[in-house]
Amino acid sequence: MIGSCYRTNNAGETSVPEIKLTDEQIQGVDMAKKMSSFKMSALAGTGKTTTLAEIARGLRKKRGLYLSFNKGIAVEAQKRFSGTNCTARTFHSLAFAGFGKKYGSRLNQRLNAGFIRERFGVGGDHAFLVSGMALDSLGKFLRTIDDEVGPEHSVWPDACKTIFAWKPDVTKSEVDQRQSRIENDMQRKVCFQIQAEALPLAQKIYNEMRRPTSDFPVTHDLYLREFVASMPDLSSSRFGYEYILFDEAQDADHLMLMLTTAQSLPVFYVGDAHQQIYSWRGAENAMASLDLPETPLTTSFRFGQAVADDANEVLAALGSKYLLNVLPSKRSRVERSADVPPGTRAVISRTNGQVVSATLDGLKEGVRVGVSGLRGIKSFLRDYRSTEAGRPSGQFALFQSVNDLMEHAQTESGSDLKTWLDLVGQYGADVLETAMGQAQDLDQDKDVWKSCQRVAITAHAGKGMEFDSVHLSDDLFNPKRLKGDEEKRLLYVAKTRAMRVLSQGKSFVDVTQGEA
């Protein structure tokens, strides 16, 4: 049901209702007024930001802090908090004055594997993978307050993940399978040797970052870690906050949860446990892990019943306590179509390879296409060219040739490569690079998508966005991958980007039941 939210003017008189809130939103606002920590499970498109703004207005005599992950979201939220006593900040901006400012220009330089190799004299056949793993593992370490970098902070290169996931091809002879096992065992040993070199290197990088007289670049997570380790009291006179609104709490990492759970003031955690798609990056999903009173937001303002029913199939498979409802005035439809229907605004895929395919299709139709993930696409083409030239590097450093890539693409663990290799085989790397040059880079300008007739993005990149019409690529419907909850959550995110029309070539229920 929809209720009324009344405002009061300066004289304390009740004014005309300005915003209609659902009963669930009103309940969330009322819970916040009790000034006790709780979590609000907000399903896709259910007016989360509006509810947070109403909480800030309901507590306008108290000083609040809204925390988000990136500056863009914080800036937009601050506009919604106009006229309240709530300040929108990122975690890093909160830490910067006391801990980040001292690093000055060292924060302006971007660390990369090539710089690490040169600075620390990293050599050998696998120098690229060693330096890359060192940087990634350091990033994971910095999201903790552990004393030293250890095996638990390891972030394996994609090449090693592929090797660890290898399974024998039972269609081959026993002799061939035995040989494949021997080769895989050798590759595993290489990966562990890479780890043995990468972790001490990560510790060296950390030590050099912390050295006061060093000119070594510093990442922003270093001073956030230092801030959290100092155990700040956000209710003290230094900060003066009386409550915290923690947005997108399902994507919280260990440091962020350490900061908020240590506070004596109430924290209102808001998010959707089923939109947690960054566990591989260290997210801990506060919406699922914290034992707090809970209230839901289930009525979506984004789409109609058809899209809600389609998304609810995934939520049910995830064991969700809540399912999506919609407003009676909202209309939407779900279409079964293997091809992208004319006029579709966004094509959402699982992988960059499929994003490239969707981009090429759009350019053929003569439409202006915006692409997210161009950096990763160009990285693939660069590494492919090196491998083709007999100098495997980057993500393909542990392969010997393009033939090895093609063979690996036929396996389950390497299936993501198949689209890439098919595209290279069909068009050639030169044509793909030219096409990517014609596409608009959505990552460079967050507003450029507004001028594009079509947007080609991954489901990860599309999180937080919405489009009038959406087509889902088939790579989101892999039955074996959909056995895992993370893949189900990714599909749920993708489906709920649609406002009016959702088209897809496959059905979640058909695909998963067929695999049962």
Confidence of residue 415 (pLDDT cuts 50, 70, 90): low
Give yes or no for residue 9 having a pLDDT over 60.
Answer: no
Give the model confidence (pLDDT) of 335-366 as tens digits. 999 999 999 999 999 988 889 899 999 999 99
Kindly state the average pLDDT of the residues 394-409: 77
Cα–Cα distance measured from residue 308 to residue 298, given in angstroms and rounded to the nearest whole number: 10
Share of the chain above pLDDT 70, in %: 93
- Asked if pLDDT for residue 173 goes beyond 60, the answer is yes
Sign of CA dihedral 493, 499, 505, 508: positive
Query: What would the pLDDT profile of 506-515 be if each residue is shown by its tens digit?
Result: 999 999 987 5
pLDDT for res 10: 38
User: Higher pLDDT residue, 105 or 12?
Assistant: 105
Least confident range of 220-234, 428-442, 457-471: 428-442
Residue-level pLDDT at 17: 41
Q: What are phi and psi of 494, to 5 degrees?
A: -65, -45
**β-sheet with 346-349: strand ranges across:** 333-336, 498-504, 467-472, 346-349, 454-458, 369-371, 440-441
Of 408-412, 447-451, 480-484, where does the model show the most confidence? 480-484
> Which neighbouring-strand residues pair with 469?
501
pLDDT higher than 80, residue 386: yes
Q: Is the pLDDT of residue 14 over 60?
A: no
Q: What is the pLDDT of residue 11?
A: 35
State the average pLDDT over residues 164-168: 85
- Report the range of poorest mean pLDDT among 128-132, 192-196, 259-263, 298-302: 128-132
Q: Stretch 421-439: mean pLDDT, rounded?
A: 87
| 88-100 pLDDT, tens digit each | 999 999 999 899 9
464-488, pLDDT tens digit by residue?
889 999 999 999 999 989 999 999 9
Whether 427 shows a pLDDT value over 90: the answer reads no
pLDDT of residue 282: 64
pLDDT(189) > 50: yes
Q: Taking residues 19-37, what's their average pLDDT? A: 94
Mean pLDDT to the nearest integer, 54-73: 92
- Name residues whose C-beta falls within 8 Å of residue 412's C-beta, 6 or more positions apart in sequence: 165, 167, 480
227-253 pLDDT tens trace: 999 999 999 999 999 999 999 999 888
Instruction: Tell whether the model's pLDDT for residue 148 goes beyond 50.
Output: yes
For 317-331, how does the pLDDT look when each residue is reduced to its tens digit (9 = 90+)?
Answer: 999 999 999 999 999
Contact 229, 221 (CB under 8 A): no
pLDDT for 8 equals 34
Interatomic CA distance for residues 158 and 66, integer angstroms = 36
Q: Name the band, by pLDDT with cuts 50, 70 and 90, for residue 278.
A: confident
One-letter amino acid at 34 equals K
* Distance (Å) of CA 430 to CA 396, 461, 465: 19, 26, 32
Q: 433: buried, middle or exposed (CB in 10 Å: 19+, 13-18, 0-12)?
A: middle
